[in-house]
Structure 1
Amino acid sequence: MTLEKQDFIAALQSYSEEPSILPDELWSIYQSAVTHSVIREKAAYPLSALMAQPAITVSAEAFLMEASRLMLEKRISGLPVVENKMLVGIITEGDLMAGFGVPVRAAQTSRMKKALDSWLHPHPISTSPTSTVGEVMIRSVVSAEPQQTLKEGLELMRRYQVTRLVIVDDQRQVVGIVTRSDILRFTSADPQTTPLLPPATAG
């Protein structure tokens, strides 16, 4: 890890008060600069270096109870939904609760929000035990490709306000998933345990 001027500039920009020469404040700025340096150096890594794989997926035809059991068993909060191995949606804990008839969001009254909700959920949400994942899943999925960088992935997550990225190949088949936990684990890992970037993408 190499600290550069841009890391200290980034640290100063994130510092809320007028910096002084007090030891504690200098130490705080230094630690912030180290954090920015780690993120900057690892931002060039491809998402394939940190994605969880193989991705745990669920079929659109699966019953909600099946998806619920899978989430509990694997201790995850969201599942990519596939049809013929291709990504068609995503279902989260909140979507499952809504499918079981438990409100998880405030009532939406505006026409625009109603129109958006009807597009995301084209079928009325049912509380029937035979309701399927395809009936309640979110169709608009933020995805990325394995070769895209961590920096690009973070920009996607920030832009679309999502907590996970589904990683797909050229055929839209799910090959992995990247969550906030994966990113934190990767950026906080000991540099000695981080694989070197291939020469073609380094620098």
Structure 2
Amino acid sequence: MDHRSIGELMSRNVVSVRLDTPFKEIARALSDDGISAVPVLDDEGCPVGVVSEADLLHKAANRSDMSGRTPLPHLEAWERARAEGVVAAEIMSAPAICARPQWTVVEAARLMADRHVKRLPVVDETDRLLGIVSRSDLLRVFLRRDSAIHEEISRDILTRTLRLAPSAVMADVEEGQVALHGAVDDEHTVAVLLRLCGSVDGVVAVSEDLKHPPEETGRTESAGRRGTS
């Protein structure tokens, strides 16, 4: 099966900053380019952290409210140091959580969910920045046409992988939802079909109405009767 890689989905024109980039220059970059975060690069072009709008807002939240209505938030020492920072190295969230270009959408999505981040810098084998992938980039796989999903399931899964006859199992695809119907040899084949179809890029859900012979229980029962005296 063909899975789109992170290298295909990532944005290559990445706005980045250096460790010594001043606070206001970072804020200007976010505003001018309509983005919500930038990777911070070292002298070798490797991401060492990320500065997001949330990181910059720490400074606003740490300032006194002249009206007196809102008390200063309680911050740990490291949080206060970041709130008082003036360059990227002092403000950024570190270390940078990165992806590789050969990763699948599943791998990147799991890392984002596990680390609670919205984007991943993408780096090569030397850890130099290649691009950046966001949650919206990953969601682009669900824009895949139903016809392309149907073709992959019919060609790669039903015919090449499981070697099923064209008339044995058919797949209907509508809005990314796959409905399988037909007949297979056993329940195991049903489970394999559901798993494989669910892993196809662009699939939202898989349902089945597949007929198969019932489990053979006669052999076990007769063996049990022969064992009694």
Runs of 4+ in 1 over 3 A off after TM superposition: 106-109, 121-125, 189-194
2:52 matched to 1:92?
Answer: yes
- Counterpart of 2:36 in structure 1: which amino acid? S
**Equivalent position of 2:138 in the other structure:** 183
The partner residue of 2:5 within 29, 42, 46 is 46
Partner of 2:129: 174
Partner letter of residue 62 of structure 1? T
Correspondence for 2:111: 156
2:120 equivalent in structure 1: 165
Query: Counterparts of 2:16 and 2:106 in 1: how far apart (Å)?
Result: 25
**Does 2:81 correspond to 1:126?**
no
CA distance change for structure 1 residues 191 and 90 in 2, over 3 Å: closer, same or farther? farther
Deviation at 1:77, TM superposition (A): 0.2
Return the alpha-carbon distance in structure 1 between the equivalents of residues 147 and 10 of structure 2.
19
Deviation track 1:19-59 (CA, whole Å, cap 9, x = no partner) reads xxxxxxxxxxxxxxxxxxxxxx77x3210110011221111
Secondary structure, counterpart of 1:156 in structure 2: helix
The structure with higher relative contact order (CA 8 Å, sep 6+) is 1
Q: CA deviation at 1:161?
A: 1.6
Which of the pair is proportionally richer in strand? 2
Q: Give, in angstroms, the shift of residue 96 of structure 1.
A: 1.1
Deviations 1:177-196 (A, max 9, x none): 111111223422447899x9
Distance 1:148 1:172, change over 3 A: same
Matched, 1:64 2:23: yes
- For the aligned residues, what is the CA RMSD? 3.3
Write the distance in 2 (CA, Å) between the matches of 1:171 and 1:91. 22
Instruction: Tell me the matched-pair count.
Output: 144
| Structure 1: stretches of 5+ with no match in the other structure | 1-40, 197-202
**CA contact under 8 A between 2:97 and 2:121: conserved in structure 1?**
yes
Counterpart residue identity of residue 93, structure 1: E
Q: What letter corresponds to residue 125 of structure 1 in structure 2?
A: A
Residue of structure 1 equivalent to 2:220: none
Alignment deviations for residues 116-156 of structure 1 (CA, whole Å, 9 cap, x no partner): x73xx6945326xxx11111111122211111111111111
Percent identity between matched residues is 26
Q: TM-score scaled by structure 1?
A: 0.60
What is the distance in 1 between the residues matched to 2:108 and 2:49?
18
TM-score, normalised relative to structure 2: 0.54
- Measure, in 2, the Cα distance between the counterparts of 1:185 and 1:158: 17
Find 2:100's aligned residue among 145, 159, 174: 145
Letter in 1 for 2:117: V
Q: Per the alignment, do residues 191 and 82 of structure 1 end up closer, same or farther by CA in structure 2, a change over 3 Å counting?
A: farther
1:74 aligns with 2:29: no
The change in CA–CA distance for 1:170 and 1:123 in structure 2 (over 3 A counts) is farther
Query: Distance in 2 between the 1:192 and 1:122 partners?
Result: 54
SS of the residue 1:69 aligns to: helix
- Where in structure 2 are there 5+ consecutive unaligned residues? 63-71, 153-199, 201-229
Larger Cα Rg: Structure 1 or Structure 2?
2
CA distance in 1, matches of 2:122, 2:104: 12
**Closer/same/farther in 2, CA of residues 64 and 193 from structure 1, 3 Å limit:** farther
